Homo-oligomer: A and B are copies of this chain.
Amino acid sequence: MMASTTVVEASVADDHDHEACRALGQILDRIGDKWTVMVVGALSRGPLRFNALMRTIGGVSHRMLTLTLRALERDGLVTRTAYLTIPPKVEYELTPLGRSLIEPLRVLSGWAIENRPAIESSRAAFDMAGEPG
């Protein structure tokens, strides 16, 4: 890792920046909603049933969890397996495609954890300048 040092300052741009930004915009439209990454994170440990998922995530409504899971299923990131028992049992699991998303998300969450303090102090300074007294 680390690559060359000069690359660190390189742009996301270069030749194909336009495509990269469009693709990035699309994927963020998709996973940038309130619950998708939470679901992927919860399922990254292994399959979970609907209500277990709900408890694991916490704070998600019945409705939104359903919608989020449908969207993930539609995109091929999650599989849904229904066991026609009484009471019903439905398991959700990441597909290989879904699992392949974990690493990119890890990179991003690593950045978030590492830089959160800097962001928060920047916010404090910015807000201080605005509301002096």
What sequence of 0s and 1s flags, for each residue 109-127 of chain A, a beta carbon within 8 Å of any chain B beta carbon?
A: 1111101101101110011
Q: How many copies does the complex hold?
A: 2
New contact pairs (8) apart from A13-B41, A20-B106, CB-CB < 8 Å: A8-B99, A21-B42, A21-B109, A23-B112, A25-B37, A26-B116, A74-B127, A104-B108
6 contacts between A and B (CB under 8 A): A9-B99, A20-B41, A28-B31, A73-B126, A74-B127, A76-B126
Tally of chain A residues near chain B (CB < 8 A): 59
A45, B17: Cβ atoms under 8 Å? yes
- Separation of A27 and B123 alpha carbons in the complex (Å): 14
B23 touches A116 (CB 8 A): yes
Residue from A28, A107, A113 whose CB has the most chain B CB atoms within 10 Å = A28
Q: A100-B115, A112-B24 are in contact. Are A44 and B12 (CB under 8 A)?
A: yes
Where the two chains meet, the residues of A that have a C-beta atom closer than 8 Å to any C-beta of B are 8-13, 17, 19-21, 23-29, 31-34, 37-38, 40-42, 44-46, 73-77, 97, 99-113, 115-116, 118-119, 121-123, 126-127
